[in-house]
Every structure is written in structure tokens, then in C-alpha cells.
Amino acid sequence: MGFLEQANEFLLEGTEFAFGFEDVSAYGRSLVKFLAEQGHLVKHVNASLVASERNSRNVLMKTDSIDAECVARVLLNRFDELPIANPSDKLWTLKSLVARRESQVKINVILKNHLHTLIYETYPSYHCFFTDVSCLSALAFYEAYPSPSCLMESSLEELTDLLKSASRGLVGEKKALQIWNAVEQDRVMPSEYEATRNVTIRSTVAQLRLSVEGIKTLEDELSFFLDFFDYPLTSMKGIDTVTAAKIIAEIGDINRFRSAGALASYAGVAPVTYASGMTNIQYANKRGNRILNEIFFRLAMGFTCLRGTQKVAVNPFFYDYYHQKLAEGKTKKQALKCVQRRLVNIIYNMMKHKEHYINPPVSFPERDKLLESKKHQASFH
């Protein structure tokens, strides 16, 4: 007998089913989709509410049956507050892509750290060879010459040709000569177990190459898939394809938030009010969606810094807004939180109305005032 057939035995006349699910994104997603397609009302019960219900009953154990009962209790007690579960295939696919890229990036970091450890023994001066051990030139070099003895069996001309081919002409004879001279100065003696270590290095390089290619493939797919959402977040300088995908994956359908303030609360950007009698205190919200909170924090950090040798702001509006808040007497942490909150407002409206962001002209009145003030102070002293 099927699940719904068994459930119908308990259905009272004049009533209908309402299902509550704690998991609507992984294993439970298929069942949620099935029930929704059958016309049943399905609500999403947040895991924190289930944990709170379990703790309030002073239950020490955590089992599937206890969790199921707690889900049912939350569903009954907070029925009108709980959101309707709407498992979107499009959003689920985007989340899968983002999660896969995140896991691939973590693997990439592990492989790079492992390669750093391996080549330090054979090339003590390797830091001056390539700024990034995962770039195409570096991978080609360490794969062909995992140890100095392999390099000495070759020639400077062959090394030059290898670097030119791997970098598509970006580096060549100058880089080859730099590496050659550094290896001669290091004078690393061949190890008894060098052949085995060479196999380890080449294996790590091959795996790292696949990881780099995999990340590139996933990012290309993310760029293509973002067109299905029609949220022009990448029109704002400083928000790349990956960041836009992460924001959309965490927010989902923007229409489930009634206002920018609701989104700010969800992201943990809006302050929490604690009021009792004559006391009214606001403090930072350390709950909310921590992934989304980190995204807004990193964006705010990037927008309030000057980059490059020319000291250019990524977004002059937010740079000036940050210094305006500092001038009002706010601390750096408070000013940064103001930037995050403003970012939430803008991103909410961009997604809500599907509007492109108009990047402001490159002008830095606050920065110029600050620099002028510092020059004046320096000349005075």
C-alpha cells in the first residue's frame, strides 16, 4: 500500500492534508515535489524551529521519530507563519552548480598546498618562478621537470619553448633564464628516492590541472545558467558571475521577501532589537543566513578599498558612502555594516524589478578630502 493510501485512513471528513517537511532540498525534495504535484499543501519547517521544539520538551535523544513529532508540532503551532515549500528545479540546479564549484575550489586549495610542500624540497627558490603554482606555465614546468636533475638533462632552449607554449607566448626566455639561474644557485643534490618523488609531483600536477579545468568548466556553465534567472546582478562592478550565482542561490525567489528589510533580516545584516520597558537595545544579528551574510560582508570590504597602483575604488559610490559614515562618527565596523545594509537595498531592488545597476562616475570627493587633509597635516608637522 502506498504512503498516501495509508495516510488516507486517518483523514477526517471535511479535512485535507497539510504536510510539514524539515528537508526540502536534499533527500526530501523528491517527496515534496510529488506531494505538491498531487495538489497537497506542503510547508517548509526550518531545522532551527525543530531543534527548538525538541529542546523545549527536554528531550535528550535525537531520532527520526522524535524529529518527525517535533516537525508536526511546529507545523500545528506555527502553521500560518511557515512558508510553502516550493522546490524549484531551476534553483536546485543552480545551487548544485554553486555547491559543486565550492567543493572543487576546496580540493584545488588542498592540491596547491600539497604541491607547495613537495616542490619546496626540490626547488627551494620556487616562489620566484611563478606567482601561482596552478597557472598553466607552472603546471607545465613541474610536470616536465619535477626535480632539478630532470631540468639539467634538458637545455635552456627547450625550457624556453616549453614556457612559451604553455603560456601562449606570455613568458619565455627571460623567465626560463631566471629559473635556470635560480636552480644553479640552489645546488640541490639528487635524492636516493627522487624517482618516486617525481611520480608524486607529476601525479599532483595532473590532478591539479584537472581541478583547474573543472573549475573553469563550472564557471562557464554558471555564466550560461544565470540567464535563466533574469537577475542583472553582474551589471554592478565588483559582482562577478560566481558571486551573483551565490547570491541568487541563497535568496532564491526574491518575491518571498516583502521588503529589503526582510531580506536584510534574513541575511543577518539588519540589527536585532531587544526592548523591555524603558530599555531599547540594538545589537548585531549573529543568526540569519551566514553564507549570504558573508557574501555581503566581502562585497562591502571590496567596495570600500582602493585597488591597484592607481588606488582606484571598485565602486566610488560605496567608497564615498563608507567614508561619509566614518565622518559622521561611526566606527569602521559600524560604517561597514551600513555599506552592507545599503547593498541589500540595492540588490533587492535589482532583483525585484530586474533593473540594471548604473555604475557611478569615477570620482572620489571623500578620498580627495582625506588625502588633502593628510598632506596638510604632514606639511604642518
Q: Is 259:246 a contact under the CB 8 Å cutoff? A: no
Q: What is the largest CA-CA distance in the chain?
A: 89
Interatomic CA distance for residues 106 and 123, integer angstroms: 25
pLDDT of 239 strictly over 60: yes
Average pLDDT over residues 203-210: 96
Residue intervals of the chain classified under CATH 1.10.287 are 91-225
Predicted pLDDT at 276 = 62
Indicate the pLDDT class of residue 102, thresholds 50, 70 and 90: very high
Confidence of residue 368 (pLDDT cuts 50, 70, 90): low
pLDDT band at 356 (very low <50, low <70, confident <90, very high): very high
Average pLDDT over residues 261-283: 76
Q: What local confidence, expressed as pLDDT, does residue 187 receive?
A: 86
Interval 11-59: pLDDT, tens: 888 888 889 888 777 778 888 888 888 888 999 888 888 888 888 887 7
Residue bearing the bigger pLDDT, 276 or 300? 300
**Residue-level pLDDT at 14:** 85
pLDDT of amino acid 274: 64
Q: Which CATH number fits domain 91-225: 2.30.30, 1.10.287, 1.10.10, 3.40.1400?
A: 1.10.287
What letter represents residue 311's amino acid? K
Task: Give the pLDDT band of residue 295 (cuts 50, 70, 90).
Answer: very high
Give residue 13's pLDDT: 85
pLDDT value of residue 355: 92
